[in-house]
Structure 1
Amino acid sequence: MTKEELKKSVQQRLGTIKGHVAGIERMVEENKNCEEILVQLSAVTGAVNKLSAHILENYADACLEEARIVDDKVRQRIENLTKMMLTMVRK
């Protein structure tokens, strides 16, 4: 993914998150029940975690490219570590 593609993707995801937060603000103003608000907060938390994972994944890919690791075994271990970190971030 190019830097411009990543930037556009991140901006789109942030727009979605902003929309969710604005919706939560409206729910609070309208005195919606706590359960509904908590569900929406959970959605925002998930969206932020996915955005973090998206950025981390692209950063890790860029770092691996820049490092130009030629040892396939070392590269595979780093890729596996990255995948594990992404799994943890996405939760």
Structure 2
Amino acid sequence: MQLEMAAEELKTVVNRLRRAQGQIAGVIKMIEEGRDCEEVVTQLAAASRALDRAGFAIIATGLQNCLADLQEGDGSAETAVDRDRTRARLEKLFLSLA
């Protein structure tokens, strides 16, 4: 399963990941400076949400692409096996973010 995303979707995901990267760098700096625990946890939670949203966007795109591929399929047994494998892989990815 290869990730294929439209330019706008890709830009959104990359922006979320960059935001998370900046937030994580900020958390590291806050810890090194001995900042308040509540502030650190708040920033860490924000970084976690940004990563989750990026992951969900990627999974949603994967689901959309898989559905499109299935609609183009010929309905053979091989397609059903591929569909089951793909579903299992996507389910595993989704649960890894839950």
Q: Normalising by structure 2, report the TM-score.
A: 0.63
Alignment equivalent of 2:65, drawn from 62, 65, 71? 62
Identify if the C-alpha distance between structure 1 residues 7 and 55 changes in structure 2 by more than 3 Å, giving closer, same or farther: same
Identity of counterpart residues, as a percentage? 28
* Structure 2 portions without partners, runs of 5+: 73-90
Q: Residues 74-85 of structure 1: matches in 2 within 5 Å? A: none
Residues 1:25 and 2:24 are matched in the alignment = no
Answer yes or no: is the 8 Å Cα contact 1:49–1:89 preserved in 2.
no
Q: Normalising by structure 1, report the TM-score.
A: 0.67
- Equivalence for 2:9: 6
Give the whole-Å Cα distance in 1 for the aligned partners of 2:40 and 2:57. 26
Q: C-alpha displacement at 1:30, in angstroms?
A: 1.4
* Structure 1 portions without partners, runs of 5+: 70-84
Residues 1:53 and 2:56 are matched in the alignment = yes
Residues 1:37 and 2:46 are matched in the alignment = no
